[in-house]
Amino acid sequence: MRFGIAVFPGTWSDRDCARAVEVLGHRSVPLWHRDRDLGGVDCVILPGGFSYGDHLRTGAVARFAPLMESVQEFAASGGLVWGICNGFQILCEAHLLPGALTRNASLEFRCETTWLRVETAETPFTRGCDAGEVLAIPISHGEGRYVADSSTLDRLEAERRVAFRYVARDGSPVGDASPNGSLRDIAGIVSEGRNVLGMMPHPERAAEPLLGSEDGVRLFRSVVEAVAERAAFAVAR
């Protein structure tokens, strides 16, 4: 399987994502921001970093990169697109996901382990998890507070499009210990077609025992399984 990993000026989690892919024995393909050819990849990852130096606001400039035109077409055709941290911000700026990411409520950059409750296993990214399961995944951001209007939040909840929610280690509500103050403790959401995922935590940094958690590998493995199932279905037809 081939994971395409976007590289914008200021991206710095591309190699971390590539390493997580390689741990599973799959291939990563760098996708330069000026290019339009996705190279036949099976999943596009928009990794973390500070694309274009976060000028204007996070993700605002990257949204207009030539590569993003192809990513939007890929997503519209049902292709899997995964935005992590800055990638989530870019997806919201590109209107591939609703809402926005704003300054952390603490006004501090937070780099720490967080606990995420899997809210739905009915996505290509979480199919290998159980709903209600708690994963240990680190964050590293200063603008990770997810916000949206009430009607959008209600729709995300009703359509089970909240993929992850920040919780305490035991799975109980995180309360005042929220790492960024995201509305309804939302850590990740999926698109209406469930083929686009945006999340602030970094699963690629929880891909090996040396990193303190392997929970992130399960998301990468879920994508691999989803792509394999799609391929098998296409052959069967």
Catalytically annotated residue among 85, 119, 129, 143: 85
Confidence check: pLDDT of 207 > 80: yes
Strands 134-141 and 110-118: antiparallel
**What's the CA gap between 182 and 112, in Å, rounded?**
16
* pTM, 2 dp: 0.96
Structure confidence at residue 231 as a pLDDT band (50, 70, 90): confident
Please give the share of the chain, as a percent, with pLDDT higher than 70.
98
Structure confidence at residue 234 as a pLDDT band (50, 70, 90): confident
CATH number of the structural domain spanning residue 121: 3.40.50.880
List residues bridging with 164 in a β-sheet: 118, 188
**What's the CA gap between 235 and 186, in Å, rounded?**
37
Catalytically annotated residue among 26, 33, 141, 202: 202
Q: Are 193 and 179 in contact (CB under 8 A)?
A: no
Residue 176 exposure: Cα atoms within 13 Å on the Cβ side: 0
Looking at the 3D structure of the chain, how many domains does it have?
A: 1
Strands 27-32 and 43-46: unpaired
Confidence check: pLDDT of 233 > 80: no
Q: Which helix (H) or strand (E) holds 166?
A: strand 162-167
Q: Are 74 and 44 in contact (CB under 8 A)?
A: yes
Please give the share of the chain, as a percent, with pLDDT higher than 90.
95
Cβ burial, residue 182 (10 Å; 0-12/13-18/19+)? buried
What was the pLDDT predicted at 237? 66
**What's the CA gap between 175 and 177, in Å, rounded?**
5
**Is-catalytic flag, 122?**
no
pLDDT in tens, 118-176: 999 999 999 999 999 999 999 999 999 999 999 999 999 999 999 999 999 999 999 99
Range of the domain at 153: 2-236
pLDDT in tens, 45-84: 999 999 999 988 999 999 999 999 999 999 999 999 999 9
Confidence check: pLDDT of 93 > 90: yes
**Is-catalytic flag, 85?**
yes
Q: What is the DSSP secondary-structure string of 73-123?
A: HHHHTT-EEEEETHHHHHHHHTTSSSSEEE--TTSS-EEEEEEEEE--S-S
- Residue 143 Ramachandran class (φ > 0 left, ψ -120 to 50 alpha, else beta): beta
**Is-catalytic flag, 55?**
no
Mean pLDDT value across the chain: 96
